[in-house]
Amino acid sequence: MTFKDIFKSNFLENVTSVSLLDMALALVLAFALGLFIFLVYKKTYQGVTYSSGFGVTLIALTMITTLVILAVTSNVVLSLGMVGALSIVRFRTAIKEPLDIAFLFWAIAAGIVLAAGMIPLAVVGSAVIGLVLILFVNRVPHREPYILVLRCDGPESEEKAMEYLGRSTRRCAVRSKSVQPGEVELDLDLRLKDGGTGFVNELAGMEGISSAVLVSYNGQYMG
């Protein structure tokens, strides 16, 4: 077998295994679905620092997955080799937000379903998933939890502060207490009545209170 025979084996036959129309249609639809996933991610993002690179990654991941599945479905032998090649790939990038995992799997699943030819399932399924995420992720909880870090100069100011918090909040519970000479530090678990944080200003101005810091559980500082 000569080099010419090897080159003519199955390589040129596989060039026409996927038509140009199918490739163009699949990639265009993959881009549209990836763009929709990116817009939903941007709409529902609740982290501290927004990463536009991750949103672009969702678009690219949808198109790349579609490209890979198109190649796999056109050749059974290639699919076995593809599985072996992808099994050695390891990603060690840390996922900062738990919801980012859902968007990654969503992009991959959309690319797989789209390349398999199930276009209605990919479109309708993505629309339903996007609607569910928009409705539930942006939903503000009725009683959002907060932590109040309070520093007092003694037991008397601590008692006055606790009485004030009992009247101003829906729920107030001590999480931890640290006592030093001339200083008492309290970590309090709070549930607000109406969502307002003006009581922290009044609390900080009370006699014997050196500082009052209100912290949200999602990492955003308030007060």
User: What is the per-residue DSSP string for 118-168?
Assistant: -HHHHHHHHHHHHHHHHHHHSPPPTT-EEEEEEEESSHHHHHHHHHHHHHH
Range in 96-100, 123-127, 148-152, 186-190 the model is least confident about: 96-100
pLDDT value of residue 221: 39
Residue 80 or residue 176, greater confidence:
176
The answer to whether residue 83 scores a pLDDT higher than 70 is no
SS3 call for 187: strand
pLDDT value of residue 55: 85
**If we measure between CA atoms, which residue out of 59, 223, 75, 208 comes closest to residue 149?**
223
- Span 85-109, average pLDDT: 74
Q: What are phi and psi of 207, to 5 degrees?
A: -70, 135
The answer to whether residue 58 scores a pLDDT higher than 60 is yes
pLDDT range class, residue 34, cuts 50, 70, 90 = very high
CATH number for the segment(s) 145-222: 3.30.70.260
Domain with CATH 3.30.70.260 in the chain: 145-222
The answer to whether residue 31 scores a pLDDT higher than 90 is yes
Q: What percent of the chain has pLDDT over 70?
A: 74
Q: pLDDT (tens digit, 9 = 90+) per residue, 66-76?
A: 888 887 776 65
Q: pLDDT (tens digit, 9 = 90+) per residue, 45-55?
A: 876 667 778 88
Structure tokens of 166? Answer: 């009992």
Please report where in the chains the tokens 């006699």 appear, as a residue: 207
| Cα-Cα end-to-end distance for the chain | 79
Beta bridge partners of 215: 147, 221
Beta bridge partners of 148: 188, 214
Q: What are phi and psi of 78, to 5 degrees?
A: -65, -35
Q: pLDDT (tens digit, 9 = 90+) per residue, 168-184?
A: 888 888 888 888 888 88
